[in-house]
Structure 1
Amino acid sequence: MGLVGILLALAVLVWLSFRGWSVLVLAPFAALLAALLSGEPLLAHWTQTFMGAAAGFLAQFFPLFLLGALFGKLMEDSGSVTAIADFMTEKLGPRRAVLAVVLAGALVTYGGVSLFVAFFVIGPMAQALFRAADVPGRLMPGAIILGTSTFTMSALPGTPSIQNAIPMPFFGTTPFAAPGLGIVAAAIMLGFGLWWLARAEAAARRKGEGFGEPTVAADAAAEDPLVRERATTAAAFDPREMRSGRRGTGRPRIVSATLPLAAVVLVNLTMSLVVLPRLDTAFLATDAWGGIALSQVSGVWSVIVALTAAILLLVALHWRRLPNLRESVDAGANASALPVLSVSSLVGFGAVVAALPAFTLVRDWVLSIEGGPLVSLAVAINVLAALTGSASGGMTIALGALGDTYMQLAAQLGIDPGLMHRVAVIGAGTLDTLPHNGAVVTLLAVCGATHRKSYFDIFMAGVVGPVLALVAVIALGSAFGSF
C-alpha cells in the first residue's frame, strides 16, 4: 500500500500542477497523501520532514535565487540585454538569423541572466530577424531554447544557473566540475541543435514557406496566470515581475553591457579555484557553524560572490540608465520569491516520500538499473524532471533522496564526484523540456506560437541534443574518468 501511496501522490501532484494548481498547495497535500496511505504520522511529516527539507533548500539556495533574479532584472532595466541582442542582430544580420538568436541567448544566460528575462528580450529580437530573413516564425522557440536552456544551463563549466548549483552541496563540487566533459557536452548540444535548425530552415525554403504570422506576445504572457504557475517551478524568475520596475531609455555600449556578464564568469572562476581554497576555513568544522567542510559551501559561496560583484559593477556602469533603482531592485527581489518557494515545496514533497518505508523499493529499483551509478543517476533525475516539469525540482528531489547513496557508491567505485555532478546537471536538462515544462509554455506564449507548430523543433534542440550529450558524457566518463 505504501508504494501505491507514493505513486498516487506523485500522480496527483503532476496532474493538478499541469492544470495550473499552485505547487505551494499541491506539494504538501501530495506529501500528506503519501504519508496517509503509508500509515505514517501526518502532522509530524508536515512540520518535521516536509518543512525541514523545504527550509534546508531555502537556506542553501535562496541567495542564488535572489541574486540571480536581481541581476537579471537590472540587466533588463539598464538595457544591457537589449544591447547584446541588438549587437548580435547587427553583426550577424538576417542571413544568420538562427545563429544570431542562439548566440545572443547563450551569451546572456551563461553570464547569469535569468532564463525568463532572456525569453522576454530575445523574443522580439528573434521576430525581427526571422521576419527580415523570411525564416519560418515557428522555428523561433527552438532557436531560443537552444541558446538559453541547453548547454549554457547544464554543460558549460562555471555556468551560474541554479541547476548547476544544486549538486554542489551534495557532491562537494564547484560550478566548474568536470570542465572537459562539460565542454564536450556543450559542443554536442550546440552542434546538433544548429544542424537541426538549419535543416528545418532549408526544408521550409524548399517548400516556399516564409515567416508566417506568429506575433511576439510578451505582455500577455507575463500576465497569464497559467504561465506563471508553470514557470515558477521551472526557473528562478517570476514572469509577472517582467512588467515591474522601470526601464531606462537608450542602450549602453556593447562593452559596458557585457562587462557584468564577464564579471560573473571571471569572479566565479577566481573564487572557486584561487581564493576559497586558500582561505582558513577551519572554523566551519566547529558546532557553531554546523560542523561542515568547505567543499559543502564553497560552490554556492563562489556564485554568490560572483553575482554580487556583477550587480555592483552593473549599477556602477549603468546607474544613469536605471531611472528608479529601488523599483528595479524590488522587482528583482520579488521575482525570486515564488520560484524559490515553489521549488522548496517540491523538495519537501521529495523528502517525505524518501522517508516512507516503501521508498526502499524505489531506491533499490533505481540502483539496480544496469549500466552502473552514472546511468541510474541519470535515469532517476530524468524521470523526476520529466514528471515535475522542472529540472531544478526533479534534480533536488532525486539528490535529496539518493545523494548520500550515490556519494557512497562513488567512493567505493572510485568515481569522481565532479563526474557525478555533471551527469546530474545534464540529466536534469533533458526530459524536463517536455510539453508541460514551464519554460516551454512561457516561451511559446512569448513567441505567440503553439505546441502544434513549434514543439517538435523545441524537442529536437532541447531534448534530443542534450540526451546525445548525456550519453557521450557517461560513455567518456566511464571510459576515461572525469576531466
Structure 2
Amino acid sequence: MLSMFGMIGGLLLLIVLTMRGMNLLIAGPLSALFVAIFSGLPLFPQLVGEGEANLLTNYMTSFSGFITSWFPMFLLGALFGKVMEDSGAADSVSRWLVGKFGLSKAVLAIVIACAVLTYGGVSLFVVAFSVFPMALSLFKQADLPRRFIPAALALGSVTFTMTSAGSPEIQNWIPIKYLNTTPYAGWEVSILVAVFMAVFGYWWLKRMIQKAVNKGERFEARSTDPVIKDRDLPNPLMGLIPLLVVLVISFILHDSLMTSALIIALLGGVITTYLLNRKYFLNLGKALSEGTIGALIAIGNTAAVVGFGGVAKAVPAFQTAVDAMTNIPGSPLIGGAIAVSVIAGLTGSASGGQVIALPLIAPHYIDMGVNTEALHRTIAISSGALDSLPHNGYVVTTIQGICGETHKAAYGAVGAVTVIVPLIGLAIAIVLFTLGLGI
C-alpha cells in the first residue's frame, strides 16, 4: 500500500512541480526520492547487494542511458534548427508559406511541416528543433500568442502521424515484434482515425488560439529571438532543400540504421544549410554555441524525467500496477489499450508503455484468437495518449527546452491535442474494429 502511495504520489509530485516551473533536474530526482522512500527502496548502491535495485543506480542508469542513446540526435537537431534560423532560411521558408497559405493558415503550415518530417522518418524529438524557427517566424508574422507553438508542433508530430499505419516512428514498429504484423496493420481504420485526429485537433487548436486572441493576447517578442529585420534572406528553395535532405536521407537509411540514420540525415541538413546559405549567416559561431547549449538543456530535462521512470519501474507497486493492467477482463482491444495507456502514463513514454505491456498481454490475447492487426493499431494509438502528460520527455523538451515556454502557459493546449484528441481517436478505432472494419 505504501509503495503504491509512493509511486502515485511521486508521479503527481513530478507533474505539480513541472507545472509550477521547477527545474526538472531538481524535480525529477526529488520525485524519485519520494517514490523510493515510501516504497522502501534503498537509496544507495552500498546498501544493497551487487546488481540489486536502489535509488541512485536506477535513476542514474536510466538518466545516462537516455543521454547515451539520444545526445547525437539532440545535438545535431538543435544545430540544424539554429543554422536554419541564423541564416534566415527558416524565415524565408515561413514567408513563402505565408504567401501560399496566407497568415490565417500559419498554424496549418506548421502542423503540415511537422507531419511530413515525422512521417518521413525524422524522430519526433528532433522535428521540434527543426521546425521551431519557422514556427516562431510564422507566429510572429501572424501576431499569434507564442505559447501555442508547442501545441502546433505536437499536433503534427505525436498524434496522427506517430501512431498511424506506415509510420516509421518506433511507436508503430514495436508491436511488430510481439504480434508478427506489419507497419501497415489495420490501415483502413488507421486512415480514418488519423484524419479525425488531424482535422479535429487542428480545429480545436485554432479555436483555442482565436479565443486567446479575442481576449487580447498577441505575439510577444523576446530579446533572445533571432533578428530578422532589415536583412537579406535566401531564396525559399534554399531553406526547403535542407529539410528535404534530412527527410530523404532519414527515409532511405531508416530500415538499415534505424535511429542512427538521423545522425547522418541531420548532419547532411546542417552541411547543406551552410553550403547553400553561407553568405546569409549573421553569426554562425554564436548559432552553433546556442544550439549546443539548447541541446544540453533539452536532453538534460528529458533525461531527468526518464530517470524518474527508471526508479518507478523498480518499486513493487509498479509490478502490481502492470499485473492489474495486463489482466483486465473483457474485450482484448479495450484491455490492451488501457494497459498500454496507463503504463505509458506512469513511465511518461509511449514506447515504454508498449515494451512493458506487450510481452505480457500479446501471448495471452493471441491465444484468445484476437485479430493481431486490430490489436497492433489499437495499442499503437493508445500508447500516444496518456504518455503526453506534463512529465513526458517530448512535452518537457518541446515546451521548455525548445520553445522556452512554461508548462503553466503552454501545456493546456498541448494536453488537449496530445491527450484528449488521441483518446477520442482510440475510442473510434476500438468501435470500428469491433464493428469489423479492417478485420
TM over 0.5: yes
- AA in 1 matched with 2:272: L
Partner of 2:341: 379
Instruction: Tell me how far apart the structure 2 counterparts of residues 85 and 164 of structure 1 sit (CA, whole Å).
Output: 26
State the SS of the aligned residue for 1:363. Answer: helix
- Aligned with 1:355: secondary structure? coil
Instruction: Give the 3 Å change call, closer, same or farther, for CA 201–210 of structure 1 in structure 2.
Output: closer
**C-alpha RMSD over aligned residues:** 4.5
Correspondence for 2:155: 150
Change (3 A) 1:157 1:36: closer
Alignment match, 2:305:
346
**Does residue 1:122 correspond to 2:122, yes or no?**
no
Q: In 2 relative to 1, CA 219–340 (structure 1 residues): closer, same or farther, beyond 3 Å? A: same
The equivalences for 1:91-106 within 5 A come to 91-94=100-103, 97=104, 99-106=105-112
Name the counterpart of 1:388: none
Contact 2:205 2:413 in 1 (8 A): yes
- Distance (Å, rounded) in 2 between the aligned partners of 1:342 and 1:446: 12
Change (3 A) 1:425 1:353: closer
1:395 to 350, 361, 364: 350
CA deviations on 1:41-61 (whole Å, 9 max, x unpaired) are: 210213422212222222222
The aligned amino acid for 1:341 is: G
Per-residue deviation, 1:118: 4.3
Q: 1:66 to 1:256 in 2, by over 3 A?
A: same
Contact 1:106 1:148 in 2 (8 A): no
Q: Does 1:23 align with 2:24?
A: yes
2:196 corresponds to? 188
Instruction: Give how far 1:3 is off.
Output: 1.7
> Structure 1 residues 338 and 109, CA, compared in 2 at 3 Å: closer, same or farther?
farther
Instruction: Provide the rounded CA distance (Å) in 1 between the counterparts of 2:61 and 2:206.
Output: 48
Q: Which amino acid aligns with 1:311?
A: V
Query: What does the per-residue CA deviation read over 1:299-321, in whole Å, with 9 as the maximum and x for residues that have no partner?
Result: 21233332222222222222222
The structural deviation recorded for 1:375 is 0.6
Secondary structure of the 1:150 match is helix
| 1:213-272 deviation line (CA, Å, top 9, x unaligned) | 42312416x6xxxxxxxxxxxxxxxxxxx66x9999422222221112122222222113
Aligned AA (1:122):
A
Q: What is residue 77 of structure 1 aligned with on the other side?
A: 86
Summarize deviations over 1:175-209 as a string: whole Å, max 9, x none.
x944846654442222223445677899x8xxxx9
2:271 maps to 1:312: yes
Quote the residue 1:467 is aligned against.
Answer: 423
CA distance in 1, matches of 2:154, 2:372: 28
Write the deviation string for residues 58-93 of structure 1: whole angstroms up to 9, x where unpaired.
222222222222211122122222122111211232
CA contact 2:250–2:261 (8 Å) conserved in 1: yes
| Contact residue 24 and residue 341 of structure 1 kept, 8 A | yes
Instruction: Check the 8 A contact 2:114/2:156 in 1, yes or no.
Output: no
Gap change, CA 1:251 and 1:424, over 3 Å in 2: farther
CA distance in 1, matches of 2:38, 2:142: 55
So what's the TM-score if we normalise by structure 2? 0.73
- Aligned equivalent of 1:43: 44
Deviations, residues 370-396 of structure 1 (Å, cap 9, x unaligned): 5435412442156348xxxxxxx4436
1:255 aligned partner: 237
State the distance in 1 between where 2:77 and 2:209 align.
Answer: 34
Task: Give the letter aligned to residue 56 of structure 1.
Answer: G
Cα displacement (A) at 1:101:
2.7
Q: Supply the distance in 2 between the matched residues of 1:313 and 1:446 (Cα, whole angstroms).
A: 27
Hey, what's the Cα distance between the residues in 1 that align with 2:430 and 2:65?
30
Is the Cα contact below 8 Å between 1:146 and 1:190 reproduced in 2?
no
Count how many residue pairs are aligned between Structure 1 and Structure 2.
Answer: 405
Shift of the 40–264 alpha-carbon distance from structure 1 to 2, 3 Å rule, reads: same
Residue 5 of structure 1 deviates from its aligned partner by 2.0
Measure the CA separation in 1 of the matches of 2:172 and 2:162.
Answer: 14
The Cα of 1:33 is off from its aligned counterpart by 2.8
1:246 to 1:41, Cα distance in 2 relative to 1, 3 A: farther
Change (3 A) 1:26 1:432: closer
**Residues 277-309 of structure 1, C-alpha deviations (whole Å, 9 max, x = no match):** xxxxxxxxxxxxxxxxxxxxx421233332222
Q: Please, which moves more after superposition, 19-28 or 193-202?
A: 193-202
Conservation of the 8 A alpha-carbon contact between 1:50 and 1:349: yes
Q: Distance in 1 between matches of 2:172 and 2:310?
A: 16
How is 1:210-289 mapped onto 2 (pairs within 5 angstroms)? 213-219=216-222, 249-273=231-255, 276=256
What is the alpha-carbon distance in structure 2 between the residues aligned to residue 92 and residue 246 of structure 1?
A: 21
Structure 1 unmatched ranges of 5 or more: 131-136, 223-241, 277-297, 386-392
Match of residue 12 from structure 2: 11
